Amino acid sequence: MTDTVPASLPAVIELVDEYMYRVLKGAEDSVLVIGELMGALTELNAEVSEVSEGSVGKLYPLFGDLSDIVDGFPFDYGDGTEMIAQREIRDAAWDWMTTARNADGLKTYVDRWIARSAALPTIEDGQPFRDVAR
């Protein structure tokens, strides 16, 4: 069963598409692009309250987890931190662009990236530092 589909799902998909294309072009720092995407999602959420429902509402913390890698969360990779953050964000962008553009595709994408984020090493006694699955 899929989450309730917000009326603004096409707007969310279009918005995320725009930023993921920018990440994949590689002309900008992908961590900064994801930060901008998070801001845009916040603005969209303010305009359309149902955006926070279901899988759509999990996009913001999911992208936050990816961008937090450069800050040493959930684990400090030392000299490889920036490279790992860039890789994870590019992988997330590529995965987004190859995911079906509907509620089921979005749910699959979110579930897959929640699991991937949870599989990264952590500094919190082996526990994900943020449980976005709730």
Q: What is the pLDDT of residues 63-113, one digit of tens each?
A: 998 988 888 777 777 788 888 889 999 999 999 999 999 989 999 999 999
Any idea where the domains of the chain sit in the sequence? 9-122
Find the mean pLDDT for residues 38-53. 67
pLDDT at residue 9, rounded to an integer: 85
Give pLDDT, residue 108: 94
User: How sure is the predictor about 3, in pLDDT bands with cuts at 50, 70 and 90?
Assistant: very low
Tokens of 49: 């309250």
Burial 87-121 (b: 16+ CB within 10 A, else e): ebbeebbeebeebeeebebbbbbbeebbebbbebe
Whole-structure pTM value: 0.80
Higher pLDDT, 22 or 72: 22
